[in-house]
Chain A
């Protein structure tokens, strides 16, 4: 393991990889700060470029950097503008903005960056030690286990995040259906191509992702006026005082561990972990009345949790080949583009990719600490760039990016159509992230389901009779039952 990590650092410290890690960290910070452009959208914008980057390590290092870098940047906008820079920083607005109003923007930004660094590093350490044994364990998995695991991941992602369970489930089903377009993985039959030759290989993930996330997000933002008014231009006292530090050190540690575990869960991720962390901090605090009025723990906890979760959500991707959220689904696609199959064999077959990326995450966190602590004032200026200028540039980037893959205008059309669909989905509160996740997991789900049924000659009991998949299915049923009970109770409470 340590040999692997040492080799990884050798790879990550090459000039190219350091440069791309820095590009990723800078881009991540920028999109984290800019509201209306999240990490998932940004990674989708860069997917066409990943065809041009020769080495898989380099391209994944950059994309990973964007993902965890955005967790750093997001807090800045939450604190200074009271708008979340990206989804995982929503709760940071509550107390972060209050701190800024009280003239404590500096310490809030400082503790967010330091907490992010500590938690991010704890998350990467977790990734280093948990991933290899987990991958080895996952080698025992057959089709039934994969089916159970994928189903679990999909259902947990939809039931935990999102407003309406029915809407989330519809998105999942639509994603799975879209994923089934093209050649059937087992018999080779052609499905749902409507005679379009271009659709035989299935709906192209990059085009779909860029449309749903890139174009869709811009279109919905065109409806609202995104104005960003800063609380303060001058940011002083970034380094937290001893008192601030004493108040928030446990929040940071708790946040790190909450993020750690929620990140590993299928369907878990940075957004949920920050919400959980905020709730926990409020509960354990001796002064819960201070929450909402500028409690530093309310910034330190969630900001740590989302960073830790961002790092550990690479664990299910790199060991099981099952992405847990939309951003990770984009990285999953990038790996496939590079010809690397994510899954239990990744660590043994592509040790350079795994260890290179892991090592780069240690380095990336240091880079981000520097970018976000002494240099935060520089990034804040970015908030002055109006969305009016940014939006057309992003749309053009999407158009040319998607064109560059196959050199055909057809793909621009398809992306545009997905963009409009994505716009309407957002309009009616349906989360496109669920669709993307289901689209990626669909083929895995179908293949494992049909292979399992072939093994068992059609008996669905195969999912319950094998110990590992049985346990997963048991957990899945329990989870669904709890949700149903909660839903019924909720209805009753409302009725009374």
Chain B
């Protein structure tokens, strides 16, 4: 860590950690002192949609390497618009196909990014 005279690599992180402790205490103290007319953190099941969003994201990260970019992207869009949002079926399908194609065009063809193709690789 070093001293003030010869600061080492741990000098700043240590100081910052001290600041963080003080600030956190200040925040806790302030909230304890203030009135506790608390609203629920997630009123009326508002946690559901963000949670689903994260779930789909995790699904994407898990699956994309072996199922491949094209299929995963398509499924991702279908689930998002079909489950989280309630978009009309015709829109879901056309947007999913259109977006998958556009993303493939931009990244794979235009920018030469080696996208994982999964078992579609030949």
Contacts and interface: CB of A to CB of B under 8 A. Distances in A.
Interface of A: 49, 52, 166-167, 169-170, 173-174, 176-177, 180, 184, 186-187, 189, 191-192, 215, 218-220, 222-224, 386, 388-389, 391-393, 395-397, 399-400, 403-404, 407, 409, 412-413, 416, 419-420, 423, 427, 445-446, 449-450, 453-454, 457-458, 460
B58 interface: yes
A20 to B, nearest CB: 14
B87 to A, nearest CB: 5
A416 B60 CA distance: 11
A254 B41 CA distance: 42
Given A166-B30, A419-B57, A449 B114 contact: no
Interface in B79-121: 80-81, 84-87, 91, 95, 99, 103, 107, 111-115
Contacts of B36: none
B84 A177 contact: no
B5 A219 contact: no
Given A391-B80, A416-B58, A404 B111 contact: yes
A226 B17 CA distance: 39
B63 to A, nearest CB: 10
16 contacts: A169-B23, A176-B12, A180-B16, A184-B9, A191-B13, A219-B53, A219-B54, A388-B81, A388-B84, A395-B53, A395-B80, A396-B73, A396-B103, A400-B73, A403-B113, A453-B4
A393 B87 CA distance: 14
B23 A397 contact: no
B46 A458 contact: no
Given A400-B107, A400-B115, A407-B114, A222 B50 contact: yes
Contacts of A192: 13
A145 to B, nearest CB: 18
Majority DSSP secondary structure for residues of B touching A: helix
- In the A-B complex, the 9 residue pairs with the smallest Cβ-Cβ separation, listed nearest first, are A458-B5, A388-B85, A392-B80, A184-B9, A189-B9, A404-B113, A222-B49, A223-B46, A219-B50
B67 interface: no
Contacts of B53: 218-219, 222, 391, 395
Nearest to A186: B9
Contacts of B30: 166
B20 A174 contact: yes
Nearest to B20: A173
A458 B23 CA distance: 27
A191 B115 contact: no
Nearest to A397: B103
A413 B50 contact: no
A462 to B, nearest CB: 12
A224 B87 CA distance: 16
Contact of A170 (B3, B5, B23, B81): B23
A13 B69 CA distance: 38
Contacts of B19: 169, 173
Given A49-B111, A409-B64, A416-B58, A392 B81 contact: yes
A427 to B, nearest CB: 7
A356 B78 CA distance: 43
Nearest to B30: A166
Given A220-B50, A420-B54, A167 B61 contact: no
B8 to A, nearest CB: 7
From B4, B6, B99, B113, name the one whose CB has the most chain A CB atoms within 10 angstroms: B113
Interface in B10-24: 10-13, 16-17, 19-20, 23-24
Contact of B81 (A223, A224, A389, A404): A389
A54 B27 CA distance: 46
B77 A392 contact: yes
B26 interface: yes
A176 to B, nearest CB: 5
B91 A223 contact: no
A404 B11 CA distance: 36
From B49, B53, B73, name the one whose CB has the most chain A CB atoms within 10 angstroms: B53
B95 A166 contact: no
B23 A393 contact: no
From B3, B57, B85, B103, name the one whose CB has the most chain A CB atoms within 10 angstroms: B57
Interface in B39-62: 41-42, 46-47, 49-50, 52-54, 57-58, 60-61
